[in-house]
Amino acid sequence: MAILSELILYPIKSCAGMSVREATLTSAGLSLDAVYDREWMVIDEHGQCLTQREHPRMALIAPRLKSDVLELRAPGMLRLQIPLGLPDPDHEQTRQVTVWDDTVLAYDCDEITATWFSKAIGVPCRLVRFHAGATRFASAKWTGDVAAPTLFSDGFPFLLVGSASLADLNEKLVAAGRAPIPMNRFRPNMVIDGIEAFEEDYADTFVLGEARLKPVKPCPRCPMPSVDQATGQPGPDPLDILRTYRTKPAMEDAICFGMNSIVTEGDGERVYVGQPVTMTLAF
Question: Residue 204: which of 142, 115, 283 has the closest Cα?
Answer: 283
Give the bridge partners for 94, in sequence order: 107
Average pLDDT over residues 100-113: 95
> pLDDT tier at 85 (50, 70, 90 boundaries)?
confident
- Cα–Cα dist 64/82, whole Å: 10
The average confidence (pLDDT) of the chain is 96
CATH code given to domain 2-18+138-281: 2.40.33
Nearest-Å Rg of the Cα atoms of the chain is 18
Could you tell me if 196 and 225 are in contact, meaning their C-beta atoms sit under 8 angstroms apart? no
- Cα–Cα dist 84/109, whole Å: 12
Distances (CA, A) of 86 to 81, 93, 129, 147: 14, 12, 9, 25
134-143 residue pLDDT tens: 999 999 999 9
Q: Phi and psi (nearest 5°) for 154?
A: -60, -30
**Is residue 8 pLDDT above 90, yes or no?**
yes
> How would you class 4 by CB atoms within 10 Å of its CB: exposed for 0-12, middle for 13-18, buried for 19 or more?
buried
**Is residue 252 pLDDT above 70, yes or no?**
yes
Residue type, 185: R
**Is residue 264 pLDDT above 70, yes or no?**
yes
CA 35 to chain CA mean position, Å: 13
173-232 residue pLDDT tens: 999 999 999 999 999 999 999 999 999 999 999 999 999 999 999 999 988 999 999 999
| Strand arrangement of the beta sheet that strand 35-36 belongs to | 35-36, 29-32, 22-26, 269-272
Q: Write down the domain spans for the chain.
A: 2-18+138-281, 35-130
Going by DSSP bridges, is the β-strand pair 158-162/190-193 parallel, antiparallel, or unpaired?
parallel
Distances (CA, A) of 178 to 107, 226, 255: 44, 13, 19
> pLDDT tier at 87 (50, 70, 90 boundaries)?
confident
Could you tell me if 213 and 26 are in contact, meaning their C-beta atoms sit under 8 angstroms apart? no
